[in-house]
Every structure is written in structure tokens, then in C-alpha cells.
Amino acid sequence: MRGYFGKKTAIVAAPLATTSMAVAEAVEVLHWWTSGGEAAALNVLKDDLAGKSIGWVDMPVAGGGGEAAMTTLRARVTAGDAPTAVQMLGFDILDWAAEGKLANLDAVAAEEGWDAVVPAPLQGFSKSDGHWVAAPVNVHSTNWVWANKAILDELRLAQPTSWDEFVAAMQKVKESGKTALAHGGQAWQDATMFDGVVLSVGGVEFYKRAFIDLDPAALGTDQMVEAFNRMATLRGVVDDNFSGRDWNLASAMVINNEAAFQIMGDWAKGEFLKAGKVPGTDFLCFRVPGSQGMVAFNSDQFAMFAQTDEGAVAAQGEMARAIMSPSFQSAFNVVKGSVPARIDVPNDAFDDCGKQGMAELAEASTNCTLVGSIAHGHANKAAVKNAIYDVVTAHFNGEYDVATAAANLVGAVEAAQ
């Protein structure tokens, strides 16, 4: 993350109290988990807090990538009315910490031993200037493909293991009259596909040079042109009505036998499970062909905004403690489709895709092939992320050819820094 983590910040609140106490308080929670699978997962946390006599004031802001929620948050904070807890991703957490708006969770973290059980790449976003400011709920990864097994079996298609095999399979599905790739034409969804495509082209080293180090030579190289070529291929196998479609509606197309594949983060699995589908029987989960052994990650975390009311502070501490308990990490992530943020959570309760995700996360962490998602604010700060969104989406919608897209990417990233 270059030198950003060394930036000094002002954490306004004193560490939250470590003593557990019954509180007749409520936490107001701003989040964007509004789809069926997401809402079901969130209920796990609501119920856990209810058992501790902590109420829940729900403030959902729809929008799968969280941009609308962050706009709402900025307005609330500007008005002097910050929520007590906010779902956040990546650099957004660090930006708010740098403004001195977040509560200090060090006391709870020390009591619960978070340092020993949260992987270092996650701690890079949970901590600011050495202080815990957010509690990670999960680890998602974005370079997944979700496939309808019945369609593949009907067309006698094996799970593709290379990019060429993937393209050939999508073409065969298209020729059959079904939609090959279910997709929603929103900038964050286009960028989510781009995560896996970039890894499939140049691997982790290219990904890091281009989108973490922001090396202009990598951003404008022939490998980037090839990445846009592959995005153009994907554009050719989506249906005509993709523009503006929500991600969970694209998942529903795969679930309902209308489409064969979706490239989406593992939150999509929650939609399949909620629909009663079984991994290996009804659907397949595998990495974007060419990106096997690599994981582009993002982590949903709850940041606690500094409060002066004693009851609100106590409720925040209990919420942070609940989020990080091994039992909650298991129960929540089984429903959500993600994997735990703690490395010590057993995989017994997880389905085959969950076990695969946990194993691949551990492998990628060991092999240094775990990289922050471009699309979800874990590779660079918001200004750079949004500049990448603009170019990727403009190209996907036919505004640029591949060479122009690569050239424009260099300029857009440079201007955003």
C-alpha cells in the first residue's frame, strides 16, 4: 500500500471499555446489505446483539458497491449526526480515520486477541497509525465464476480451466439461445469482472505493478490492452438488457437457468444458498480461468464513529466484540457466502465452495498471491478507484477501443493521484 499506512492520524475517542455490560442502547447501523442473501446474513448479527440487550436501528442504503452509502455517510457526518456503526471497505476506513472521526477499538481488540488471528493484509485496513478502528466481518474475493451446472451438463461442457476454454464455453451457450454471461451494467460490476480478468492476463506481479504501484508502464502495456480485449469478449456474450441491472438479479439469471455464468464476488453464493441451491449439484464455483491460485480480496468491516454518550460507546464495544467472536464469524459467513476474517475459525459448518474459499485464502496468504480488489477499494484510494471505473465502464459500453482504453487508463490514474 506504498507509504499510506504510515500517515499519522488523530483518533478522537479513547479506547472503548473492555468490560462487558448490559446496555439498554441501540446501535444505528449504516450499510448496503439489502439483497435477500445479504439481509439474511445481517440478521445473524442483529440477533446476536439482541441477545445482549442491544437494539438495532437499521439504515440501509441500497447499492451493491457501497458508493451511495458513502455519499449518505458524508452528508450525515457533515451535519454532525454520524451513525454509531458503518459498513466500510478498504481505503474508505483509513480516510475516515485520518479525519479523526473513528473510535479507538484497541481495548476490545487487546482483550479479544485480534492481533493474533486477523491476517496482516486485513489489519492494514482495520488499523490506522497502529490503532484498531474497525472490526472485520469477513473476507470476500472477487475473481469467482458462478456457473449453472444443469446448463453445462445439457451442453456437455466441462468446467473451463483456461481462458480459451472459458470463451469457447460461453460461445457454445450463446449459440444455444441462452445467455452466456449474466451481468449488470454498473461501474462497480464492470470493475469486479476486471479484477479477475487482469489477474488472468498477467498474474499477481502485473496486477500489483499496474493497480497497487500504479506504474504507468504497466498501466499502458500490451498486457493491459489484452485485458481490455478480454473485457470486450465478455461484453459480446452478455444479454441486451444488462444495463443498470442489479448484481443479485444477474445471479438470479444463473439460479433460474436463464444464464450459464456470472463473474462476481462470493457474496453471490448467498443468493444461490437462499434459493436452496447446492454447490456441486446445482451450481459450480471456480476462479476466473487463468487466475487460479490468486485471490483478489475485499473485507467488509464495521467502523465505529466516535461517540460521546456513554451508553452508545458501550454498545459499540459489544458490537465489535460480537462481530469478532468465532461463533459469529462462522454463522455469518456461512450465510453470506464469504469466509471468516479470523484464521482460527473451523470450516466444519461451511459448504464445499466455502471450504474451497477458506483453503484458497490461506494458500494465497502464504504464497503472497493475495491482492486487494481494484473494484472494491482495497488496491487504491477512492479517487484512483473511480478513475479506473470510468475507463473500464466507458470501454465496456463501447466508447473506446482497446488501445484507447489502455492509453486513457494511464492518464486517468495519473490525474487522480
Q: What is the CATH topology of the domain spanning 4-140+299-355? A: D-Maltodextrin-Binding Protein; domain 2 (3.40.190)
Q: Give the mean model confidence (pLDDT) for residues 181-186.
A: 97
Per-residue model confidence as pLDDT tens digits over 228-264: 999 999 999 999 999 999 999 999 999 999 999 999 9
Per DSSP, 243 falls in state: B
Residue 1: what pLDDT? 38
pLDDT confidence of residue 12: 45
pLDDT the model gives residue 288: 98
Q: Are strands 134-136 and 300-304 parallel, antiparallel or unpaired?
A: antiparallel
In the chain, the percentage of residues whose pLDDT exceeds 90 is 83
Domain 141-296+362-416 has CATH 3.40.190.10: yes
Q: Give the pLDDT score at 284.
A: 98
pLDDT digits (tens, 9 = 90+) for 55-70: 999 999 987 678 899 9
Alpha carbon 226 to its chain centroid, in Å, reads 25
Residue 265 pairs in a beta bridge with none
Q: Specify the pLDDT at position 120.
A: 87
Calculate mean pLDDT across residues 72-87. 94
Q: Which three cell numbers stand for residue 294?
A: 490468486
DSSP 8-state symbol, 141: E
Q: Do domains 4-140+299-355 and 141-296+362-416 have the same CATH topology?
A: yes
Per-residue confidence (pLDDT) for residue 180, from 0 to 100 = 98
Whole-prediction pTM value?
A: 0.86
Please give the mean pLDDT across all residues of the chain.
92
Tens of pLDDT, residues 268-322 = 998 999 999 999 999 999 999 999 999 999 999 999 999 988 888 999 999 999 9
Beta strand 134-136 with 131-132 is: unpaired
For residue 35, what are the β-bridge partners?
A: none
Q: What average pLDDT does the segment 98-114 reach?
A: 96
For 51-69, give the DSSP string.
Answer: TTT-EEEEEE---TTSHHH
Give me the mean pLDDT over the 394-405 stretch: 97
Domain ranges within the chain, ordered by starting residue = 4-140+299-355, 141-296+362-416
pLDDT of residue 15: 65
Return the C-alpha cell found at 100: 479523526
What pLDDT does 13 receive? Answer: 52
Report which of 44, 47, 23, 25 is spatially closest to residue 33, judged by C-alpha positions: 44
Q: Is the dihedral of CA 414, 198, 352, 266 positive or negative?
A: positive
| Average pLDDT of span 376-383 | 92
Least confident of 24-28, 148-152, 311-315, 391-395: 24-28
Other CB atoms closer than 10 Å to residue 236's CB: what's the count?
Answer: 13
Please give the average per-residue pLDDT across 338-358, as a whole number: 95
Q: How confident is the model at residue 16 (pLDDT cuts 50, 70, 90)?
A: low
Exposure string for 20-30, b = 16+ CB within 10 A, e = fewer: eeebebbbbbb
